[in-house]
């Protein structure tokens, strides 16, 4: 589901190179991903064995509202280097029914949004700035604000590797 890495990180330098995907609701608020270039990329990727680096990509994620329970689109596992968190809680769920109600918004392909009433919370965490967390984003999860919401993280994501495999990679480099 999720695991916190052992060491804090220094906020990396980066510049946005291109828009990637935006997932927004009616009011234009939601999650925005942008491709980035960073002179600190090697430091970020160093938590993974070098032979896997080409299977991961670097983005910056910005969240400016509550994000309802969902599964991510096209990403299996993400490693989030949190820069700003506003004490938002990431909550993971399990479905209470074999056929929970789902729907998709623009830009979702293999990810879905779930009805709260069909879910039961099973675990959660509150990331702090300069913490790194690895998440199984194919599991149902949400972002719940405790106040103001502007959450920013540099992400190292993969379309290739499942969560369990990424955990083993992180163990190999003593990052867990």
pTM greater than 0.75 = yes
Instruction: Name the H helices within the chain.
Output: 41-45, 163-172
Mean pLDDT lowest for which of 25-29, 37-41, 63-67, 80-84?
Answer: 25-29
Which residues have CB under 8 Å from 87's CB, separation 6+? 126, 146, 147
- E-strand stretches of the chain: 2-4, 15-24, 30-37, 56-63, 67-70, 77-84, 89-95, 102-103, 113-114, 119-126, 132-136, 141-144, 151-158
User: Mean per-residue pLDDT for 83-102?
Assistant: 96
Structure tokens at 33: 């991903």
- Using CA atoms, how far apart are residues 69 and 82, in angstroms rounded to an integer? 20
Tens of pLDDT, residues 120-149:
999 999 999 999 999 999 999 999 998 878
Three-state DSSP class for residue 150: coil
Q: What is the pLDDT of residue 19?
A: 76
Q: What is the pLDDT of residue 147?
A: 80
Q: What is the pLDDT of residue 20?
A: 65
User: Mean per-residue pLDDT for 145-172?
Assistant: 95
Contact between 114 and 93 (Cβ < 8 Å): yes
Q: What is the pLDDT of residue 36?
A: 97
User: Mean per-residue pLDDT for 2-25?
Assistant: 87
Contact between 166 and 93 (Cβ < 8 Å): no
Which residues have CB under 8 Å from 146's CB, separation 6+? 86, 87, 88, 89, 126
Q: What is the pLDDT of residue 57?
A: 96
User: Mean per-residue pLDDT for 75-99?
Assistant: 97
pLDDT at 1 over 60: yes
Structure tokens at 9: 């990180």
- Using CA atoms, how far apart are residues 131 and 153, in angstroms rounded to an integer? 10
Total domains present in the chain? 1
Q: How confident is the model at residue 12 (pLDDT cuts 50, 70, 90)?
A: very high
Query: Which residue range is the domain that position 30 belongs to?
Result: 2-172
CATH of the domain at 90: 2.60.120.10
pLDDT at 26 over 60: no
User: Mean per-residue pLDDT for 73-81?
Assistant: 96
């Amino acid at each position: 589901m999720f695991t916190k890495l052992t060491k804090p990180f220094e906020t990396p330098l980066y510049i946005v190179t291109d828009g990637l995907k935006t997932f927004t609701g009616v009011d234009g608020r939601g999650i925005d991903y942008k491709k980035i270039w960073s002179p600190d990329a090697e430091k970020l990727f160093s938590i993974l064995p070098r032979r896997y680096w080409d299977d991961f990509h670097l983005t910056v994620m910005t969240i400016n509202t509550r994000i309802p329970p969902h599964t991510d689109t096209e990403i299996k596992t993400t490693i989030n280097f949190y820069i700003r968190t506003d004490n938002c809680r990431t909550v993971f769920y399990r479905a209470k029914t074999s056929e929970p109600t789902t729907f998709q918004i623009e830009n979702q392909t293999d990810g879905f949004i779930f009805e709260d009433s069909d879910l039961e919370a099973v675990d959660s965490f509150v990331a702090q700035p300069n913490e790194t967390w690895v998440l199984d984003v194919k599991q149902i999860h949400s972002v719940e604000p405790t106040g103001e919401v502007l959450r920013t993280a540099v992400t190292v994501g993969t379309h290739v590797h499942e969560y369990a495999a990424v955990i083993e990679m992180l163990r190999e480099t003593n990052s867990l």
